Structure 1
C-alpha cells in the first residue's frame, strides 16, 4: 500500500459520509466545540453543514449554555428557520434573544406561519413589535392574527399557506392553477374546496386530482364529509380529533365558518408528544421538567408541590399521634404502618394514572363515569383481597400473632379499596370543576391513602386491643 493510500486510510471520513448513529455523539460535539474555541470557524462549519436541521437543533441543546452563543456566531447562516423550528423552546428563546430583530424577521419570513409564530410568541412584547415591524406587510398581518388567538389553540397551531379552489372548477382548472402559480404552498396533501363565501364544502386528495380526467368537475370528485377545526379549539382536542379520525390535514374555520388555515399531521405529532410528556410531568409535580429550563424556574415549579406534600404528610402525622398509646403498647405496629400506606399509595397511583389518561383522551366522560367507578372498585377488591391474604399470612407467620395478621390484612383490603376510589373520583372531581386533573390529583390521592391507611390500621389495632 502506498504512502498516499495509508494516509487516506487514517483520515476520518467526511461528516457527510458519517453514519447517522455517529452524529451528535460526545466525540462529535466535542470536536465542533473545540474548533469553535480555537477560532477555526471553517472546520466547525464543515462538520455542522451536512447535518439535518433537527440535528443542528440538537447540537445546540447538547452544547453547554455558556458556549451556545459562540457556536451560533461560528456557524451563523446555518441557523435558519428550519433549525429554530426544531429547537427546544428554552434553547431557542435564549438564542433568539441574542439576535437582532431584523435577523429574526428574516428567519420568520422563511417559515410557515405556525413555525414563525412559535418563534415570535415567546419574545418580549417590545421585541415582538420590532420583529413584526421588520416583516413584510402580508407576513406581519398573518402573524399578528395568529398571535391574537389564545395560546395552545388551533389558531396558533395552524398555517395559512394552503390551496383552496371553488367548487365549479374542473380538475383541469385546478392543475393549471397549481402549475401556473409559483407562490403557492409546496407542501400539501389535500386541496380544500370552498363556496363563494369561502366556507369549506369539501376536500380533494392530491392523488384524486392527479388521476382524474381534466374535464371532470371538482364538485364531482371531492369528499364532502370533513372534520373542521374551530380556530379557538385547544391543541390537545385538535390532536384527539386527528387521532380519532386518522386525519392527515384538516381545515381551520373562524367563528363565521370561513376557512382561515389548516393543520397538518406533522404539527399534531409534536403536540401529542408534548401533551403526553406534560401530563406525566404534571402528575409528578415536576413542572415542565425540561433539562434546559433555568434552575430558578425548575425550583419554583417543583417546590410548591413539595410544600403541599409536606402539608399532607402533617395530616398523616397527626393521625399517627392520635394512636400514640396503641403504638407504645405494641411497637411492631410502627414497623408495619408504612406497608399499609405505601401499598395503598401505589394502588391509588395506578388507578389515578389510568383515569387521568382516560380523561385526556376522552375515553372517560359523564356517560361512562359510574361504570368506570364500579370497575375500579371491583379491581381494587380483587387486588386488595390478594394483597391482604399475602400480608396477613406473612405477618402471622413472622410475628406468631394471628390477630395482628388479621388486622393488617383487613386494613390493607380497606385501604386499597379506598385508594381505588380516590384514584378515580379525585381526577373526575377536578375535571368536573375545570381543573387539570394531571396537576393536583397526586397530592389528594396520596393524602387519602396515607391518612386512611394509618387511620384504618391503627384504629383496627386499637379496637382489637393488640399489645406486645
Structure 2
C-alpha cells in the first residue's frame, strides 16, 4: 500500500514520520492517534490522519486493537470514507460496521461501485444485511440484492453494473456526444461495449480507438468482434485464469440468455488472484484463513481438526515401528536413522504436492497431460532420490562403519522419495477428479504415505537383509 503524500517536504515533519522506510505506519504514530482518540481530541485525530491515503487509513484501523477500532472509526468522521471501508480486512470491517450507525454504513456502501458494495454487505449477518439494505436507495438496494442472489465467489458477485453499452449503428461522433451528454454514466471505464437489439454483446471499442477515429466512422467498423465473455455463474478463480490467459483489462459478463449484465475489470481480478493464492497456501498447511485478525476460536477450530487428523496418521506410523521393535532393539542405529528416511520423503512429497496443486489451480495440469506430468515427477523424484541416497549411504557407512546398513538406508531413501514423488502428484490429481479441493487434504495423505512407507521400507529392508533380527 502506498501513501498519497505527494510532496513530503511540504508537510509537517511529525506527519511525514508516520511512515517508516518500508512505507508502513510506525508504532509511535499509531499510539499518538489512539491517545488522541482516548482523550476525545477529534481535531488532533483529524490532523494526524487527514494526510494519509485511504489504504493507509485502512492499515491504521487494522493495526488498532479490536476493542478500540469502533471508537477510532467514529472519531475519524468524514475520513471514514467508502474507500477506506472497502480496503480494510473482513474481520476489521465487522468491528467498524458494528460501531457505525446503519445509515452511515449504507451511505458509504452507496458511494461504492456495486462489486465493492456487495463485497462489504455479503459477509454480514442476515440481520445486519437487512438493516443496511433498508437504508439504501431503492435503486442501489435492488442492484445489491440482485448481486447477492448469485452464488458466492461467482462472476455475478464480483462484477460491476456500471458500464457503457451502445448499439452498433452509432457513429463515433454520436458515441462521443452520448458520453458527454449523459452525466449519469459511469466515469471510470476502459472500453465501450457494443450490443445488438437483444442487449447481447457483439463487440468492444477501446477508448483509444474511439478518440483516434473520425466522427463519421460507424462504431461497427472499429469495434473488436472477438471478445472473452464471462458467464455470470462462473467461479471467480476461473474468471481470474481467463484474465491472466488472455491479458484482459475488462470483460463483459453475460447471463444465461447471453445478455450483457455487467463487467469485470482487472483491478478486481488482482485481489482475487491474491486471495486464491493465499487460500491454497493456507489450506496446504491446514491453517484455516490464516488472518491475524481472525477470532481465536475460529483459528482454533480451523487448525486443531487437521492436527487431530495428523495425530491419526502418526499413530499409523507408530504402529508400523512397533512391529519392528525387536529389530530396533538389536541395532540402535536403526532408530537413529529412521527419522532421516521419513523426513526426507516428507519434504520431497511436499515439494511435489506444492507444484501439483499450483498446476491444478492455474489449469496447467489437465486431463490431457496428467500421465505425462505424473511420469515427469517420478523421473524428477528418481534423480533426487538417487542423489540423496548416495550422500546418505556414504555418510551412514562412514559414521557407523557398516556398509550393509549404508546400502539399506540408501535404498530406503531412494524408494521413499520416489514414492513421495508419485503420491505428491497422484493424490491431488485424484482429489481434483473427485471434485474435492486438492489443497485441503492432500498434505495429510502424502505425509501418511511418506512416513508410514518410509519406516516400513527401511525397517523391512533391514530385517530382510539380515542386518537386524
Deviation string for 1:173-197 (max 9, x for gaps)? 1101111111111110010000000
SS in structure 1 opposite 2:224? coil
Give TM-score, length-normalised by structure 1. 0.96
Partners of 1:222 and 1:230 lie apart in 2 by 21
Q: Secondary structure at the match of 2:389?
A: helix
Which residue number in structure 2 is paired with residue 141 of structure 1?
142
Distance 1:65 1:288 in 2: 18
> C-alpha separation between the residues in 1 aligned to 2:200 and 2:12?
58
Residues 12 and 80 of structure 1: CA distance in aligned 2, closer, same or farther (over 3 Å) = closer
The aligned counterpart of 1:121 is 122
What is the CA-CA distance between 1:152 and the residue it aligns to? 0.6
How far residue 156 of structure 1 moved from its aligned partner, in angstroms, is 0.4
1:87 and 1:318 mapped to 2: Cα distance? Answer: 48
Would you say 1:338 and 2:339 are equivalent positions? yes
For the residues of structure 1 that align with 2:255 and 2:33, how far apart are their CA atoms? 47
Q: Is the 8 A contact 1:97 1:123 kept in 2?
A: no
Take 2:38 and 2:238, find their aligned partners in 1: how far apart are those partners?
46
Q: Which residue of 2 aligns with 1:265?
A: 266
Report the alpha carbon displacement of residue 97 of structure 1 after superposing the two structures with TM.
Answer: 2.2
Q: CA deviation at 1:18?
A: 7.0
The answer to whether the Cα contact below 8 Å between 1:121 and 1:147 also exists between their aligned partners in 2 is: yes
2:20–2:26: 8 Å Cα contact kept in structure 1? no
Which residue is equivalent to 2:355?
Answer: 354
Runs of 4 or more above 6 Å deviation: 16-20
Match of 1:3 in 2: none
Measured against aligned partners, the alpha-carbon deviations of 1:38-72 in whole angstroms (never above 9, x if no partner) come to: 22110111111111111111110011112112211
| Structure 2 gaps, min length 5 | 1-8
Question: Per the alignment, in what secondary structure is the counterpart of residue 124 of structure 2?
Answer: coil
Give 1:15's aligned residue: 15
Query: Do structure 1's residue 391 and structure 2's residue 389 form an aligned pair?
Result: no
Tell me whether 218-227 or 73-82 shows the greater mean CA deviation: 73-82
2:6 corresponding residue in structure 1: none
Cα distance, 1:14 vs structure 2: 5.9
Equivalent residue pairs, number: 459
- More displaced, 61-70 or 340-349? 61-70
1:388-467 aligned at under 5 Å gives the runs 388-467=389-468
Distance in 2, matches of 1:70 and 1:111, equals 23
Match of 1:45 in 2: 46
Deviates more, 1:102-111 or 1:224-233: 102-111
2:14 & 2:376 partners in 1: Cα distance? 60
2:218 corresponds in structure 1 to 217
Q: Retained in 1: the 8 A contact 2:70–2:98?
A: no
Shift of 1:340: 0.1
> Where do residues 251-290 of structure 1 align in structure 2 (5 Å cutoff)?
251-290=252-291
CA deviation profile, 1:316-337 (whole Å, cap 9, x unmatched): 0000011111111111101100
Change (3 A) 1:164 1:12: closer
CA distance, structure 2, for counterparts of residue 315 and residue 302 of structure 1: 21
In 2, Cα distance between equivalents of 1:398 and 1:16:
61
- The structural deviation recorded for 1:107 is 0.8
Deviation at 1:94, TM superposition (A): 1.9
Q: Deviations along 1:404-457, whole A, 9 cap, x unmatched?
A: 000000000000000000000000000000000000010000000000000000
What's the counterpart of residue 97 of structure 2? 96
Q: What residue ranges of structure 1 are gaps of 5+ in the alignment?
A: 1-8
| Residue number in structure 1 paired with 2:239 | 238
The Cα of 1:20 is off from its aligned counterpart by 7.6
The DSSP-based 3-state class of the residue aligned with 2:152 is: coil
How far, CA to CA, are the matches of 1:131 and 1:51 in structure 2? 28
Tell me the distance in 1 between the aligned counterparts of 2:15 and 2:304.
Answer: 44
Cα deviation 1:243-297 (Å, max 9, x = unaligned): 0000000000001100000000000000011111111110000010000000000
